[in-house]
Structures are given as structure tokens and as C-alpha cells.
């Protein structure tokens, strides 16, 4: 019998898997993290504040450009999505922090059945 108790590790692994394979999850996460960038970080496509949210310095330019394109056009190319899948899993902790914990646990529980 599978336990109904969901651990933080299970949630983290579930979110990482979704961010690296599910287009809808990855796009929503990309836009969510972009929204946490400050206005000047968004406009300059950089990271200049150590506030614990937003893109890392090495990802800020490319992921900001992808987020802006997604906002404008509603789509990314297959090549861009491959990059998003590769990079977004490192933002799983931020996604978990800004998400509804009960909903995430419910999704993990449903995926285990």
C-alpha cells in the first residue's frame, strides 16, 4: 500500500520532473519567475539584486527574452522549449514556494496512483 504522506522531497522531484518535461508547467513557471524579477531586472534582462527570487545571473538574459516572447506571441520554438526544459528545473524551489502547497501535494498524490 502506498502511504498518503507526501514528503518535501517527493514534491521537489515531482515539480522538477514537470518543469523539465511538461510544456504547460515549464511555460507557466517561466512566466512566474519572470514576474518576480524587479522591473529594472526585467528591462535590462539581468539580475542585480540578491533577493532570493527571479532568474540567476547566467539565465536572466535568455530566460527573460523567452518570457517576453511568450507574453507577446504566446509560443516558443521547439529549440527554445528544449532550453526552457533544461533550465527551469533549477527554479523548482521558487516554484514550490510560490505555489499552493496543498494543491501540489494533491498533484503528487494523484501521480502516484
Q: Is 2 helix (H, G, I), strand (E, B) or coil?
A: coil
Burial 4-33 (b: 16+ CB within 10 A, else e): eebeeebbbebbbebbbeeeebbbbbbebb
Residue 100 CA, chain-centre distance (Å), reads 14
For 42-72, how does the pLDDT look when each residue is reduced to its tens digit (9 = 90+)? Answer: 655 555 555 567 888 889 899 999 999 999 9
CB 58 within 8 A of CB 48: no
pTM: 0.85
For 3-38, how does the pLDDT look when each residue is reduced to its tens digit (9 = 90+)? Answer: 578 899 999 999 999 999 999 999 999 999 998 876
Confidence of residue 112 (pLDDT cuts 50, 70, 90): confident
In whole angstroms, how large is the CA radius of gyration of the chain?
15
Q: How far apart are CA 41 and CA 108, in angstroms?
A: 33
Mean pLDDT, residues 73-95 taken together: 96
pLDDT reported for residue 48 = 54
Confidence of residue 1 (pLDDT cuts 50, 70, 90): very low
3-state secondary structure 42-90: HHHCCCCCCCCCCCCCCCHHHHHHHHHHHHHHCCCCHHHHHHHHHHHHH
* Domain spans of the chain, in order of start: 8-111
Amino acid at each position: 500500500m502506498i502511504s498518503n504522506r507526501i514528503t518535501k522531497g517527493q514534491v521537489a522531484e515531482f515539480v522538477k520532473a514537470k518543469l523539465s518535461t511538461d510544456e504547460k508547467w515549464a511555460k507557466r513557471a517561466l512566466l512566474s519567475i519572470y514576474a518576480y524579477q524587479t522591473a529594472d531586472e526585467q528591462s535590462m534582462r539581468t539580475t542585480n539584486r540578491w533577493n532570493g527570487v527571479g532568474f540567476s545571473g547566467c539565465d536572466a538574459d535568455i530566460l527573460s527574452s523567452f518570457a517576453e516572447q511568450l507574453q507577446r506571441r504566446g509560443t516558443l520554438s521547439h529549440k527554445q522549449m528544449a532550453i526552457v526544459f533544461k533550465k527551469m528545473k533549477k527554479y523548482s524551489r521558487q516554484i514550490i514556494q510560490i505555489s499552493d502547497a496543498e494543491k501540489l501535494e494533491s498533484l503528487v498524490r494523484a501521480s502516484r496512483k
